[in-house]
Chains A and B, each alone.
Chain A
Amino acid sequence: MGLVRNVRDDGLGGLEHNFLTGRIEDVVKWSRSRSSWGATFGLACCAIEMMATGTSHYDLGRFGMEVFRASPRQADIMIVAGRVSQKMAPVLRQVYDQMMEPKWVISMGVCASSGGMFNNYAIVQGVDQIVPVDVYAPGCPPTPETLIHAIETLHQMIEDGEIMRRRTASGVGAGVRVQEIAAGTLTPVILRSK
């Protein structure tokens, strides 16, 4: 079922089976890939290209992704767009954990994929040390076409079903521990000038 590859046959007319006789699982996978909403995780320059991909010229709305949900509870795809610093890493993991299954991660740009040009103390060398990544989109920043290619690759993987078979039941990640500081345990600092 190379639905996504065959743009002309897209839509209901592209289904191999009649809508009534198609397997429910195929329909579910098809609809998941057509209406996956992204979680806003634009960190740096790649976020600008992600925004540009959402605008009318490149238009992510064609692929059902025009809505970028700020709440991770409502998002399917986390596009990590930009540099992840050491301080941001636990936050990234927390947002990923709050997303509901099924969820996928696109690592957009070289900084998210491998640390990019920043090979130093401050930047995590590849976001796959923190969250499991499904598609890597290289580029600094990747052009909107590259990002659309990555998104469509992911959509194809969703539709083929191979991505759903991959995950283990435990869903373990990179073992990053998020230490919760309970509210009220730290004395607040009040700044004022004399």
Chain B
Amino acid sequence: MHGSPLVDSLGQSVLFVAKDRYIAVLKELSADGYEMCIDLTAVDYLTHPGRNLPDDIVAERFEIVVNLLSLRHHKRLRLRVQVAESEVSIDSAFDIYPGSEAMEREVFDMFGISFSGHPDMTRILMPEDWDGHPLRKDYSQGFIPVQFKGAAS
């Protein structure tokens, strides 16, 4: 579909797109009738044992997951784009789906994936001067050890 492998995952359609074709495919899908970008998020597969990908897709550390909804055709579609750790950036979908502005900021804040072409690439959840990206797997949990005297352990 649009030159990228389409996989059926438990009844849901998943499209694996290469990073260089990401915006082109989004434009085509948006013209096809997928008017709404429901969600744009990311996954860090650093500690993941292994996942099934189509043959011509190279597995990278990060994955951008975009959920699209077509109100006209009553269809949903998921895009998965691999993002390498060596080049942690991808094009912004803001021009096609302006509603992704906040979601891309959240991905940048939590994973460190910057979106080129985004009008305001700053942190949205953590304070502006925060160090590190909390939802990465190698980010320490940052907890205070608490001795709970009431418990048995």
Q: A and B bound?
A: yes
* Interface of chain B residues 95 through 153 with chain A (CB within 8 A): 95, 98, 101, 119-120, 125-127, 130, 134, 139, 141-144, 146
A190 to B139, CA, bound (A): 33
Main secondary structure of the interface of B (DSSP, over half): loop
Residue of B101, B143, B146 touching A120 (CB-CB under 8 A): B143
Number of B residues contacting the other chain (C-beta, 8 Å)?
Answer: 17
By the criterion CB–CB under 8 Å, are A122 and B98 in contact? Answer: no
* Interface of chain A residues 84 through 124 with chain B (CB within 8 A): 86-87, 115, 119-122
A189 on interface, CB distance cutoff 8 Å:
yes
A125 on interface, CB distance cutoff 8 Å:
yes
By the criterion CB–CB under 8 Å, are A119 and B127 in contact? Answer: no
By the criterion CB–CB under 8 Å, are A120 and B141 in contact? Answer: yes
By the criterion CB–CB under 8 Å, are B127 and A120 in contact? Answer: no
Q: Indicate the size class of the contact surface on chain A.
A: 10 to 19
Q: Across the two chains, which residue of chain B brings its CB closest to A179? A: B129
By the criterion CB–CB under 8 Å, are A125 and B144 in contact? Answer: yes
Contacts of A120 in B (CB 8 A): 141-143
Q: Across the two chains, which residue of chain B brings its CB closest to A194? A: B95
By the criterion CB–CB under 8 Å, are A121 and B120 in contact? Answer: no
Looking at the assembled complex, report how far the CB atom of B135 sits from the nearest CB atom of chain A, in whole angstroms: 10
Contacts of A86 in B (CB 8 A): 126-127, 130
Contacts A121-B134, A189-B119, A189-B120: A87 and B144 contacting too (C-beta < 8 A)?
A: no
A190 to B120, CA, bound (A): 9
A172 on interface, CB distance cutoff 8 Å:
no
By the criterion CB–CB under 8 Å, are A121 and B95 in contact? Answer: no
Looking at the assembled complex, report how far the CB atom of A5 sits from the nearest CB atom of chain B, in whole angstroms: 29
By the criterion CB–CB under 8 Å, are A87 and B126 in contact? Answer: yes
Main secondary structure of the interface of A (DSSP, over half): loop
A193 to B97, CA, bound (A): 9
A191 to B94, CA, bound (A): 10
By the criterion CB–CB under 8 Å, are B119 and A121 in contact? Answer: no
By the criterion CB–CB under 8 Å, are B142 and A121 in contact? Answer: yes
A121 to B144, CA, bound (A): 10
Q: Across the two chains, which residue of chain B brings its CB closest to A193? A: B98
Looking at the assembled complex, report how far the CB atom of A38 sits from the nearest CB atom of chain B, in whole angstroms: 27
A156 to B101, CA, bound (A): 51
By the criterion CB–CB under 8 Å, are A87 and B120 in contact? Answer: no
A194 to B94, CA, bound (A): 9
Residues 166-194 of chain A: 1 if any B CB is under 8 Å from the residue's CB, otherwise 0? 00000000000000000000000111011
A121 to B120, CA, bound (A): 24
- A residues touching B (Cβ–Cβ < 8 Å)? 86-87, 115, 119-122, 125, 189-191, 193-194
- B residues touching A (Cβ–Cβ < 8 Å)? 94-95, 98, 101, 119-120, 125-127, 130, 134, 139, 141-144, 146
17 A-B contacts (beta carbon < 8 Å): A87-B125, A87-B126, A119-B143, A119-B144, A120-B141, A120-B142, A121-B134, A121-B141, A121-B142, A122-B126, A125-B144, A189-B119, A189-B120, A190-B119, A191-B119, A193-B94, A193-B98
